[in-house]
Structure 1
Amino acid sequence: MLVESLEATAFGTNCYVLAPQRGEECVVVDPGVGVADRLAELLRRHRLRPAAVLLTHGHLDHVHSVTPVCGAHGVAATVHADDRHRLRDPLAGLGPQLRAALAASGGAGAWREPDDVVTVTDRARLEVAGLRVDVSHAPGHTEGSVLFSVSRPGEPDLLLAGDVLFAGSIGRTDLPGGDHRAMLRSLLTRVLPLDDATDVLPGHGPATTIGRERLTNPHLVQLAAAAGTEQQS
């Protein structure tokens, strides 16, 4: 499988491109601020044709370029139903500091939502671009945050974790749509049960694995210990 990444020009957001191989259809995940031109070059270089744009959640740093990317290729944006409203106005609810940071990065210009938006719900299975993508609703960072799990025959699954899980950390819950208790439930019920070999591509920062995070991520270590204590009591 071909897996490529681009880092946005603001907030260090990771945009991913996945395809069975060069010269085929692909999916684009979380096109953030300033990635459109570099994404177009990457697609040309690998002779890829986007079949869909997948969004792990609706915060502006993950969706900023979704409309031009979808429009350029005539494809839909796919987002969880609970974050659909964010594509109407991703700036809604942002405080003055975040707005100022976006303005300074050039990411707070005029917004237009994609012409074609497809909503998904928990446990949906997408067959797109020759890939099988399973959707797991994992609220906490936003109401509609999801994990996209991509099956790779003969290899560990690939988890597109958005802002749920990072290498050594987890997503913030103090932004619009955040809920710390919901985040803990998502980590406990949607992340910790995953196979250790699962490769994780987070929304920010370097790639990791579930096994590595289970052993070293302080949030998962603490959560697993608390769950084990409850089971013994």
Structure 2
Amino acid sequence: MLVTSFPAAAFATNCYVVAPAAGEECLVVDPGIGVLDTLAAVLAEHRLRPAAVLLTHGHADHVYSVTPVCSSNGVPALVHGDDRYRLADPFATLDPQLLAMLEAQFGASATWAEPSDVRTVTDGEVLDLAGLTVTVSHAPGHTEGSVMFALPGVPDDLAPAVGATSTVVSGDVLFAGSIGRTDLPGGSMAAMLASLRDKVLTLPDDVYVLPGHGPATTVGRERRTNPYLLQVAAEHR
């Protein structure tokens, strides 16, 4: 499985491009702020053709470029139904000072238009896209509609020492050593803890984790070292 990632121009949001191999269709996950040029270069380098854009949730730093990516490639955007409303205006819940900074650097929010083709996904849904089988796992807490996307393979260039056999794109549910914040509108620590218990800790240790921010990790590593997972595990022994 070909997996390429690069950080957005703001908030270091990871954008992922996933394909069975070079020269095939691909999935673009979470195209954030200022990613269009880099994304175009990645697609050209590997001769990839987007089949869909997957969104782990509806925050602006993860969806900022979704509309131009979808429109230029004629593909849909997929988001959980509980975060569908955010695509109408992902800037609505941003702090005014932060919004002003983004407008000054990347263009006014008034130019926002949601993708013309938005499809909602549900928990446990299995998607057959771009020659890949993607399973949706609804994991609210960071937002109401946060999801993780599970893939059956691992990146081709993954070091064998990691020992992973499958991959999950965790969005802002799980990071290396941390979790997504829950103090923003639509966030809930109670929901996050339930998601960690029911959706993360139930995964095998050999799952490779591609988070929304920061470096990749594995479920096993996080189970042993992540303070939030350790807390949840201790409370449910």
TM-score in same-fold range (> 0.5)? yes
1:140 aligns with 2:141: yes
Q: Report the secondary structure of 1:147's partner residue.
A: strand
Residues 94, 64 of structure 1: alpha-carbon distance in 2 compared, 3 angstrom cutoff: same
2:61 alignment partner in structure 1: 61
Q: How does 1:176-215 map to 2 (within 5 A)?
A: 176-215=185-224
2:127 alignment partner in structure 1: 126
Aligned residues: 228
1:218 alignment partner in structure 2: 227
1:79 aligns with 2:87: no
Partner deviation per Cα, 1:16-59 (whole Å, 9 max, x = no partner): 00000000000000000000111011101100000000000000
Q: CA deviation at 1:6?
A: 1.4
Partner deviation per Cα, 1:178-207 (whole Å, 9 max, x = no partner): 011000000000000100000000000000
User: Could you state the TM-score of these two structures normalised by the residue count of structure 2?
Assistant: 0.93
Q: Distance in 2 between matches of 1:107 and 1:179?
A: 31
Cα contact 1:94–1:176 (8 A) shared by 2: no
The partner residue of 2:177 within 160, 168, 177 is 168
Q: CA deviation at 1:105?
A: 4.1
| Greater alpha carbon shift after TM alignment, 139-148 vs 96-105 | 96-105
- In the alignment, structure 2 segments of 5+ residues that lack a partner are 155-162
Cα contact 2:34–2:65 (8 A) shared by 1: yes
Q: Report the secondary structure of 1:189's partner residue.
A: helix
- In the alignment, structure 1 segments of 5+ residues that lack a partner are 229-233
2:159 alignment partner in structure 1: none
Q: Distance in 2 between matches of 1:104 and 1:164?
A: 29
Q: CA deviation at 1:103?
A: 3.2
Q: Distance in 2 between matches of 1:155 and 1:132?
A: 17
Q: What fraction of aligned residue pairs are identical, expressed as a percent?
A: 65
Residues 191, 78 of structure 1: alpha-carbon distance in 2 compared, 3 angstrom cutoff: same
Q: Distance in 2 between matches of 1:177 and 1:102?
A: 21
Q: Distance in 2 between matches of 1:61 and 1:119?
A: 19
Runs of 4+ in 1 over 3 A off after TM superposition: none
- Report the AA paired with residue 56 of structure 2: T
User: Could you state the TM-score of these two structures normalised by the residue count of structure 1?
Assistant: 0.94
- Report the AA paired with residue 190 of structure 2: R
Q: Distance in 1 between matches of 2:94 and 2:33?
A: 16
Q: Distance in 2 between matches of 1:206 and 1:31?
A: 17
Cα contact 1:33–1:61 (8 A) shared by 2: yes
Q: How does 1:99-110 map to 2 (within 5 A)?
A: 99-106=99-106, 108-109=108-109, 110=111
Cα contact 1:150–1:157 (8 A) shared by 2: yes
Q: CA RMSD in A?
A: 1.4
1:37 alignment partner in structure 2: 37
- Report the AA paired with residue 203 of structure 1: G
